[in-house]
A and B are shown apart, each in its own frame.
Chain A
Amino acid sequence: MAEKKSDVLQGTLDLMVLKTLHAMGPLHGFGIARRIEQLSKDVLQLNEGTVYTSLLRLQQQGWIDSKWGTSENNRKARFYSITRKGTRQLELETENWERIAAVIGRVLRLERQG
Chain B
Amino acid sequence: MRWLRLWAAKAMGLLTGKRLNREFEAEIESHLQLLTERYLRQGMSRAEADTAARRQFGNVAVLQEKQRAQWSFASPAEWFGDIRFGLRMMRKKPWSNAAVVLALALGIGMNVAVFSFVNALLLRPPEGVTAMGSLLEIWLHSRTSTGVQSYMPFTYPDYAYYRDQSRALEGVLAFDGDGAPTIWNRSGQGQVIQGQLVSGNYFSLLGVHAILGRTISSGDDQTVSPHPVVVLSHSFWQHELGSDPGIVGRTLVLNGAAFSVIGVAPPGFAGLLVGSAPDFWAPLTLQEQFTHDKERLTNRHGYWLIVAGRMRPGIDARNVRAEMHVLAHQLELNYPDSNKDMDAMVYPATLVPGPYREYVSAFTGLLLAVFALVLAIACTNAASLLLARATGRTREMAIRSALGAGRARLIRQMLVESLLLSAIAGLAGVILAWWFARLLLELKPATLPIALEVPLDWRVLLFALLVSVATGILFGLVPALRSAAVNAAPVLKEETQSAGLRKSRLRSLLLIGEIAACVVLLAGATLCVRSLMHANTIDPGFDTQHIAVATLDPGTLGYSPEKVDAFYRQLMGRVQALPGVTAASYVNHLPLGTSREATSASRHIGQDPDRIRVDVFRVDPGYFSTMGIALLSGRDFTQRESDSPEAGVVIVNEMLARKLWPAQNSVGKRIALGGEKATSEVIGVVKSGKYRTLGEGPVAVVFRGTLPPARTLVIRTSADARPLLDEVRRTVQVVDPMMAATGTQTIEEYMSLPLFPARTTGLLLGASGILAVTLTAIGLFGVIAYVVSQRTHEIGVRMALGAQPTDVLKIVMRQGMYVTSIGLCIGLVGAFGAARLLAPLLYGIGVNDPVTLIGVAAGVMAVAMLACYVPARRAMRVDPAVALRYE
Write the nearest CB–CB distance from B1 to chain A, whole angstroms.
11
Chain B residues within 8 Å of A53, by CB: 63, 66-67, 70
B30 touches A52 (CB 8 A): no
Inter-subunit contact B71/A56 (CB<8 Å): yes
Q: Is A50 on the interface with B (CB-CB < 8 A)? A: yes
A52 CA to B30 CA in the complex, in Å? 13
Which one of A52, A56, A62 lies within 8 Å of B5 (CB-CB)? A62
Cβ of A5 under 8 Å from chain B: no
CB–CB B30/A75 < 8 A: yes
Cβ of A49 and Cβ of B70 under 8 Å apart?
no
Question: Does residue A33 face the partner (Cβ distance < 8 Å to B)?
Answer: yes
Cα distance A83–B700 when bound, in Å?
98
Interface check B31, CB cutoff 8 A: yes
The answer to whether A30 and B28 have CB atoms under 8 Å apart is no
Contact between chains at B59 and A48 (CB < 8 Å): no
Q: Does B6 contact A (CB under 8 A)?
A: yes
Distance (Å) between the CB of B10 and the closest chain A CB? 8
The answer to whether A49 touches B60, judged by C-beta atoms less than 8 angstroms apart, is yes
Decide yes or no whether A60 CB sits under 8 A from chain B: yes
Mark out the residues of chain A between 35 and 68 whose CB falls within 8 Å of any chain B CB in the assembled complex.
47-50, 52-53, 56-57, 60-62
Please name all residues of chain A whose beta carbon is closer than 8 Å to the beta carbon of B6 when the two chains form the complex.
60-61
Report Cα–Cα, A61/B60, bound state, in Å.
Answer: 24
Question: Contact between B30 and A30 (Cβ–Cβ < 8 Å)?
Answer: yes
A112: min CB distance to chain B, Å: 36
Given A52-B28, A57-B70, do A47 and B23 touch, yes or no (CB 8 Å)? no
- Given A48-B56, A52-B67, A56-B67, 5 more A-B residue pairs with CB atoms under 8 Å apart are A56-B70, A60-B9, A61-B2, A76-B26, A76-B30
Question: Which partner residue on chain A sits nearest B7 by CB separation?
Answer: A60
Contact pattern, B 1-36, Cβ under 8 Å of A = 1, otherwise 0: 010011001000000000000011011101100110
A19 interface contact, C-beta 8 A: no
Sorted nearest first, the 6 A-B pairs with minimum C-beta distance are A47-B58, A49-B58, A60-B9, A49-B63, A30-B34, A48-B57
A-B contact pairs, 28 of them (CB 8 A): A29-B27, A30-B30, A30-B35, A47-B56, A47-B58, A47-B59, A48-B56, A49-B28, A49-B57, A49-B58, A49-B59, A49-B60, A49-B63, A50-B63, A52-B24, A52-B67, A53-B63, A56-B67, A56-B70, A57-B70, A60-B5, A60-B70, A60-B71, A61-B2, A61-B6, A62-B5, A75-B30, A76-B26
**B860 CB, nearest partner CB in chain A, Å:** 56
What separation, in Å, do the CA atoms of A57 and B5 have in the docked complex? 11
Chain A residues positioned under 8 Å from B58 (CB to CB): 47-50
Does A78 reach chain B (CB closer than 8 Å)?
yes
Q: Which one of B24, B34, B66, B67 has the highest number of Cβ atoms from chain A below 10 Å of its Cβ?
A: B34
Q: Give the one of A29, A52, A53 with max B CB within 10 A.
A: A52
Query: Does B70 lie within 8 Å of A52, measured CB to CB?
Result: no
Complex Cα distance, B38 from A33, in Å, reads 13
Report how far A66 CA is from B57 CA in the complex, Å. 21
Is A16 in the interface zone, CB < 8 Å from B?
no
With most chain B CB atoms within 10 A of its CB, the pick from A48, A53, A61 is A48
Alpha-carbon distance between A53 and B6 when the two chains are bound, in angstroms: 14
A-side contacts of B27, CB under 8 Å: 29, 52, 77-78
Instruction: State the A residues within 8 Å of B (CB).
Output: 29-30, 33, 47-50, 52-53, 56-57, 60-62, 75-78
With a CB–CB cut-off of 8 A, which chain A residues contact B9?
Answer: 60
Please name the residue on chain A nearest to B71 by beta carbon. A56
Contacts of A48 in B (CB 8 A): 31, 35, 56-58
Q: Which residues of A contact B56 (CB under 8 A)?
A: 47-48
- Inter-chain CA distance A18–B149, complex, in Å, is 80
Chain B contacts with A in 26-72, Cβ cutoff 8 A: 26-28, 30-31, 34-35, 56-60, 63, 66-67, 70-71
List of A residues within 8 angstroms of B59 by Cβ: 47, 49
Q: Mark B60-96, 1 if CB is under 8 A from A, else 0.
A: 1001001100110000000000000000000000000
Please indicate the chain A residues that have their CB under 8 angstroms from the CB of B26 in the complex: 76
Closest CB in chain B relative to A33 CB, distance in Å? 7
A-contact 0/1 string along B744-788, CB 8 Å cutoff: 000000000000000000000000000000000000000000000
Chain A residue with Cβ nearest B20: A56
The contact of A30 among B5, B31, B60, B71, by CB within 8 Å, is B31
Residues of B within 8 A of A (CB): 2, 5-6, 9, 23-24, 26-28, 30-31, 34-35, 56-60, 63, 66-67, 70-71
> Please, which residues of chain B bring their CB within 8 A of the CB of A56?
67, 70-71
Q: Hey, which chain A residues are within 8 Å of B67, CB to CB?
A: 52-53, 56
B31 — which chain A residues lie within 8 A by C-beta? 29-30, 33, 48
Determine the chain A residues whose CB is within 8 A of the CB of B2 once the complex forms: 61
Taking CB as reference atom, which chain A residue is nearest B54? A49
- Quote the shortest CB–CB distance from A38 to chain B (angstroms): 13
Residues of chain B lying within 8 A (CB to CB) of residue A77: 27, 30
- A residues near B35, Cβ cutoff 8 Å: 30, 48
Chain A residues with CB under 8 Å of B66's CB are 53
- The interface residues of chain B lying within 8 Å CB-to-CB of A33 are 31
Residue from B2, B35, B56, B71 whose CB has the most chain A CB atoms within 10 Å? B56
Which residues of A have CB within 8 Å of B23? 78
Cα–Cα, bound, A56→B424 (Å): 40
On chain A, the residues within 8 Å of B28 by CB distance are: 49, 52
Q: How far is it, in angstroms, between the C-alpha of A61 and the C-alpha of B3 when the chains are bound?
A: 9
Complex Cα distance, B10 from A60, in Å, reads 9
CA distance A81 to B27 in the complex (A): 16
Who on chain B is nearest to A48 by CB?
Answer: B57
Taking the closest CB of chain B, its distance from the CB of A34, in whole angstroms, is: 9
- Complex CA gap A30/B59 in Å reads 16
> Which of B23, B57, B66 has the most CB atoms of chain A within a 10 A radius of its CB?
B57
Per the bound structure, the CA–CA distance linking A30 and B30 in Å amounts to 8
In the complex, what residues of A have CB within 8 A of residue B57's CB? 47-49
Contacts of A76 in B (CB 8 A): 26, 30
* Docked pose: A82 CA to B23 CA in angstroms: 20
How distant is the Cα of A66 from the Cα of B755 in the complex, in angstroms? 81
Q: How far is the CA of A53 from the CA of B60 in the complex (A)?
A: 11
With a CB–CB cut-off of 8 A, which chain B residues contact A49?
A: 28, 57-60, 63
Contacts of A75 in B (CB 8 A): 30
The closest CB in chain B to the CB of A77 belongs to B30
- A60-B5, A61-B5, A78-B23 are contacts. A52–B63 as well, Cβ < 8 Å? yes
Please give the distance in Å from B390's CB to the nearest CB on chain A.
32
A33 to B58, CA, bound (A): 13
Q: How far is the CA of A56 from the CA of B24 in the complex (A)?
A: 10
In whole Å, how far is A57's beta carbon from the nearest beta carbon of chain B?
A: 7
**Whole-angstrom distance between the Cβ of B274 and the nearest chain A Cβ:** 57
- Alpha-carbon distance A76/B23, docked complex (angstroms): 11
Interface-centre pick from B6, B30, B67 (highest chain A CB count, 10 A): B30
Q: Whole-angstrom distance between the alpha carbons of A39 and B2 in the complex?
A: 31
Shortest beta-carbon distance from A19 to chain B in Å: 20
Distance in Å: Cβ of B575 to nearest Cβ of chain A? 91
The docked-state distance in angstroms from the alpha carbon of A49 to that of B9 is 21
**A62 CA / B70 CA spacing, docked (Å):** 14
Across-interface contacts of A47 in B (CB, < 8 A): 56-59
A33 to B34, CA, bound (A): 11
Task: Report Cα–Cα, A82/B26, bound state, in Å.
Answer: 22
Question: B70 to nearest A CB, angstroms?
Answer: 6
Nearest opposing residue in chain A for B67, CB measure = A56
Closest-by-CB residue of B relative to A71 is B30
Measured between beta carbons, the chain B residues less than 8 angstroms from A57 are 70
Task: Return A76 CB to nearest CB of chain B, in Å.
Answer: 7
Most buried by B among A30, A57, A76: A30
Most buried by B among A30, A49, A53: A49
Complexed CA–CA distance, A53 and B66 (Å): 8
What is the bound-complex CA distance between A53 and B31, given in angstroms? 14
Name, among B9, B31, B59, B67, the residue most crowded by chain A CB atoms within 10 Å (CB to CB). Answer: B31
User: B residues within 8 A CB of A61?
Assistant: 2, 5-6
CB distance from B9 to the nearest CB of A (A): 4
Report chain A residues within 8 Å CB of B71: 56, 60
Choose among A56, A57, A61, A62 the residue with the greatest number of B CB atoms under 10 Å from its CB: A56
